Structure 1
Amino acid sequence: MERNSIHKTVVGVAASALAFGALWIHRLKSRKQISHEHHVNRDCERENYINSILYRGDQNCIDIIRMRPVAFFNLCGILTRNNLLQSTRAVNVKEQVLIFLHIIGHNVRFRVIGSRYYRSIETIHRYFRIVLRAILKLYQLAIRLPDESTPLEIRNNSRFYPYFIDCVGALDGTHIRASVPPNIQGRFRSRKGGTTQNVLAAITFDLKFTYVLAGWEGSAHDSRVLTNALTRRRGFSIPEGKYYLADAGYGIRNEIISPYRGVRYHLKEFTNHRPENAKELFNLRHSSLRTTVERVFGILKKRFRVLDAEPFWDFQTQVDVVLACTIIHNHIMGVDPNDLINEELYEEHDHHSITSTLTQREEREEAREWATKRDEIAEAMWSDYIHRNI
C-alpha cells in the first residue's frame, strides 16, 4: 500500500516537472521569437519613418526637420565630402543628421527621439554630439564677412542709394534663453526677466549671417558685447570705409552708424505722419534697412524651436547650438533661398581681458567723424526728398 502511494507520488512529481519544463521551454521559444520579430520591426519602422520625412513632400519635411529635402541632402553631401561625418555600421549619415535636426527643430528630449527612431538614449546622445561638432566646423565656410561691394538691396532701391552706398549690413543682439548654475544666474538675468545669453549678430540684407558671437551673459550691454567682438582674436572686422547700421543702444562709433536719438524712428511711428526733417527721414530709412536683422532673428527662432525654449544641456552646448543654428540658416539661404519658412516671415568669456585700442579722446573724435557722416547722409537724403515732392 505504501509502495503504491510512493509510486504515485513520484509519478505525479515527475509529471509536474515535465509539464513545468515544457511550459518553460515554450515560454523561452516564445520570448526568442517575439524578440527576434520585434528587432526586425524596429528596423522597418525606422526606415519607413525616415522615408516618410524625406519623400512625402516638402511641407512634411519642413514640419519635421525645418528644411526641404534639397537643403537636407545638400547638407549631408557637404558634411560627407569634407570628411566631417561618416556612416557607421549602425547609423548612416542621413539618419545622424535627421536626428540632430529633429532635436533642434523642436527642442525634443533625447528619450523621445530615441523612441521615435528606435534607438537607445545613449546612441541619440552620441550622434547628437558628433553632428554638432561637425556642423560647427562649417562656420568658416558658411558664415563669411561681406565683400566691399554695395549690396543689391541698396543699389536697386532709390530710397537707399546712393545715400547708404558704403553700408554692408546691419547688426544687433538677441537674447536666447539660457540655463546656468544658480551661483551665476544673476549675471545672466536680462532686463526682461529670465536667464539668457546675449548673442551679437551681423547680417547682410539678403538675410545671411556674416558674424555671430554667442555666450555673453544676458545682463551685458550690447555695446560691451560689440567691443569684445571687435577686439578679440579672429573677431568681427569691417572693411575700411564701410559701415554697419545698428540701433541706438550701440551709439555712433567708428564704422557703426546708429539713428538720431530723440527723433521718431520705428516704422509704425511714420504710418500717418510723413518725415518732417532730415533727421526723421534718415531714421525712417535707417529703420527700413535695419529691420532685416529682426526678420532674420524671427526666421531663426521660428525654424529652430530649441532657441526659444528652456535648454536642457550644459551652457557650452547651449552656445554651440546657437552657432550651429546660424550655420544651418546660412546653408539653407544659400541652397534654398525661397524656403517656405522664410516666406512666412517678414566656456564663459574672460570679459576682464577686454582692452580698448583707442584712447577716450580718439573715441570721441571718431564718434564726431561718423556723426558728421550721418549728418551728410541725412542732408543729402532730405534735399532729394524735398526736390521730388515739390
Structure 2
Amino acid sequence: MVRTSSTPRPAARPSQTSAAALSANTRRRRQVLITTIIAVTGAIGAIHSYNERRYDPEPYHTSVLSGEEWVKELRKGHSEHMKNNLGVGRCVFKKLKSELQKEGNLKSRRFVGISEIVATFLYQAVTNLSVRKVAERFQRSLEAISRNFHDVLEALVSDTFRSKYLRHPDPDTVHRVILQNPKFYPFFKDCLGAVDGSHFLVRPPASARFPYRDRGGNLSQNILAACDWDMVFSFVMTGWEGFPLCDKLIVPFHNVRYHLCEWEAASIRPVCKEELFNLRHAQLRNVIERIFGVVKRQWKIVWEVLLHNFVLFHDPPETPSQLPEVRELLVPDPHGDVMPTAGISSQETQ
C-alpha cells in the first residue's frame, strides 16, 4: 500500500487578514454612527416638541361652563339644584359665605371669588370626589382646587367660627325634650346629651395607612361625639379610642335588654326597674346614632359636623324628624312603653 500524506493548507497572507479586520471595524463604526444619528434625531424631536408645548401650550380647561358660571347657574336656578350639588340651600349658602368671611377670615383671590371657593369645598365634601375630578367640574388647576379646599377648611376650624357653632350645652337648663316628657323627667333632668363613637372613612397617605386599618379592612378613624336632642353637635374629637367610665356618664344595666330593636321585636313591657331604665336610656341615646347617620349620608368629611350645626341654626326644621335623611333612621317606640314603679310585679305590668 502507498502511504499518502495530507498536504497542509497554505497560511493566509497578512494582507488578507488586515483587510477582513478593517472591514469588521468599518461595519461596527457604521452601526454606531447610525445609532448615534437616530438617538440625536429623536432627542432633537423631543426637545422641539417640548418647546412647542412650553411656548405654545394646548389649552386644557376650555369648557364654556366654568366654575364661576356653574355657581351662578346654581344660584339662579331651581333651589333644589344647589342643595343636591352643594348640600345647602341658597339662603344658607349666602349666610355661610358671610360667616366664613367674618368669623373665619376667608378672602377671595385675584381670579377666584368667594362663591366659587366655598362651592368648591362644599362640592368636594358632598361628592367625595378626587381633586382631579373636582378640577374638571370647576375648570381650575389642581393647585387652585386644593387651595380652595384648605382655605375654607381653615376658616371652618378657626377658633371664632368653631366656638360659635360648636357650643357646650348649658348645665343649668333642662332640655325641652326631657322637660316636656314625663317618661324622662325628672329622672334624666341632669343629662346634657348623648355620647358615642363611630368610624368615618379616611384617605391617609400611603406611608401612614397601617394605623387606620379597621377590622373590616377599610381605612377609617374613630370619632367621639356628643349631641343634644335637637340633633346639634356639642363636642367632637377625632382619633379617640372611646369614652372613659366616670361619675358623669350614665350607662345602662348590663345583661338586661337594652336596644330599641330588641324591645320592638319582643313586643313586651318592662318587667323590672332595670329594664325600664334601659328602655328610657336607649330612647334618649338613640339621637346620637341618628345624627351619625345624617352626617355620613350628607357629608363625607369629619369636620362637616360644623356645617351640620350651621344648617340647623340658620335653616332649622320644625322637628328633627323632618330632616329627609333621618326619616328612615327613626326607630318607633316599642310596644308596652309604660312607666311601672319599682314595686310593681311582672304580672301587673303585662
The two structures have a TM-score, normalised by structure 2, of 0.71
- The aligned counterpart of 1:335 is 314
Quick check: 1:299–1:341 contact (8 Å CA) kept in 2? no
> Any idea what SS the aligned residue of 1:130 has?
helix
- The aligned counterpart of 2:274 is 279
AA paired with 2:190? D
> Any idea what SS the aligned residue of 1:88 has?
coil
1:255 aligns with 2:213: no
Pick from 155, 158, 169 the counterpart of residue 182 of structure 2: 158
> Aligned equivalents of 2:343 and 2:91: distance in 1?
45
AA paired with 1:79? L
Note closer, same or farther for the CA distance 1:191–1:115 as it changes in structure 2 (3 Å cut): closer
AA paired with 1:72? F
- The structure that is helix-richer by fraction is 1
Pick from 257, 267, 284 the counterpart of residue 260 of structure 2: 267
Tell which has more relative contact order, 1 or 2 (C-alpha 8 A, sep 6+).
Answer: 1
> Any idea what SS the aligned residue of 1:273 has?
coil
Q: Per-residue deviation at 1:301?
A: 0.6
Q: How many residues end up aligned between the 2 structures?
A: 273
Pairs within 5 Å for 1:89-238? 89-137=110-158, 138-148=161-171, 149-180=173-204, 185-216=209-240, 220=241, 222=242, 226-227=243-244
AA paired with 1:48? E
- The aligned counterpart of 2:305 is 326
Flag structure 2 segments of 5+ consecutive residues without an equivalent.
1-55, 328-338
Pairs within 5 Å for 1:236-251? 251=245
> Any idea what SS the aligned residue of 1:210 has?
strand
Pick from 344, 347, 354 the counterpart of residue 325 of structure 2: 344
Pick from 50, 58, 77 the counterpart of residue 79 of structure 2: 58
> Aligned equivalents of 2:163 and 2:312: distance in 1?
16
- The aligned counterpart of 2:341 is 383
Note closer, same or farther for the CA distance 1:90–1:185 as it changes in structure 2 (3 Å cut): closer
> Any idea what SS the aligned residue of 2:84 has?
helix
Quick check: 2:258–2:275 contact (8 Å CA) kept in 1? yes
Deviations 1:85-142 (A, max 9, x none): 1122211111100000000111011111112111111111111111111111121121
Note closer, same or farther for the CA distance 1:66–1:340 as it changes in structure 2 (3 Å cut): farther
Quick check: 1:172–1:201 contact (8 Å CA) kept in 2? yes
AA paired with 1:264? R
Q: Per-residue deviation at 1:279?
A: 0.7
Deviations 1:300-340 (A, max 9, x none): 01111x34xxxxxxxxxxxxxx22x1111111111112299
Deviations 1:252-293 (A, max 9, x none): x21000111100011121221111111111111111110100
- The aligned counterpart of 1:357 is none
Structure whose alpha-carbon radius of gyration is higher: 2
- The aligned counterpart of 1:25 is none
> Aligned equivalents of 1:302 and 1:126: distance in 2?
25
1:87 aligns with 2:108: yes
> Any idea what SS the aligned residue of 1:283 has?
helix
> Aligned equivalents of 1:334 and 1:165: distance in 2?
24
AA paired with 1:199? I
Flag structure 1 segments of 5+ consecutive residues without an equivalent.
1-31, 228-250, 308-321, 347-380
Cα RMSD, aligned residues only: 2.8
AA paired with 2:247? N
Deviations 1:190-209 (A, max 9, x none): 34443321110011111111
Quick check: 1:199–1:213 contact (8 Å CA) kept in 2? yes
> Any idea what SS the aligned residue of 2:163 has?
helix
- The aligned counterpart of 1:300 is 295
The two structures have a TM-score, normalised by structure 1, of 0.64
